Copies of this chain bind each other. A is one copy, B any other.
C-alpha cells in the first residue's frame, strides 16, 4: 500500500508540470497564453456540457478520462501547435514517436496495472478510431477555435491561417464525429475570415 501510494503521488507531482506547458492560443480574454493543464480542464467541461451532441453510443465518462490524460505527454514534448510549420508539425512521425516515448515514461511511473490502463486509454485517444476517441479529438479541435474567436483571431492571425486551412486541419476532424457541432461553429467563424 505504501509503495503504491508513493508511486501514485510521484506521478501526480510530475503531472503538475503540465501547468507550465504553454499552448499557442490564449485565454478567451487574450490576457496570456493558455497552459495545457487548464486547457485539459476546459476540455473536460466541454465534454460534460456538449455530451448531447455526441453520436449515439459514445461513453462520455470515457471521453472525460481521455481528455484529462490526453496532453500529459507534453510534459516531455511540449505543445505542437496545429497551425505551426504550415500545419505539418502536429501529426508528424517524429512528434508521434516522441509522444509515445513520453507516454511510456510518464504512465510508467504508476503501479503496473494502473499505468497500463491509463496508457491504453491514451493510445486509444491517439489512434482516434473508436467513437469515444473521435469525439474527444473533435472537442480538442473545437476549444481552440472558440478561444481564437473570443480573443479576436489568436493563432489564426499568428500563423496567417485561411478558412480553407481551418477546414482542412480542424473542421474535418470535428465534422467526422460531430457534424452539427462543426456546422454551428463554422457559421460563427465565417465572419472573422471574411473581415480579414
Contact = CB atoms under 8 A, between A and B. Distances in A.
Interface of A: 1-2, 4-5, 8-9, 11-13, 15-20, 27-29, 31, 34-35, 37-38, 40-42, 44-46, 48-50, 52-53, 61, 64-65, 68-69, 110, 114, 118, 143, 146-147, 150, 180-181, 184
Nearest to A111: B52
Copy number in the complex reads 2
B146 A52 contact: no
Given A64-B64, A65-B64, A68-B48, A27 B38 contact: no
Given A41-B68, A64-B64, A68-B64, A48 B180 contact: no
Contacts of A110: 49
- The prevalent SS among residues of A at the interface is helix
B146 A9 contact: yes
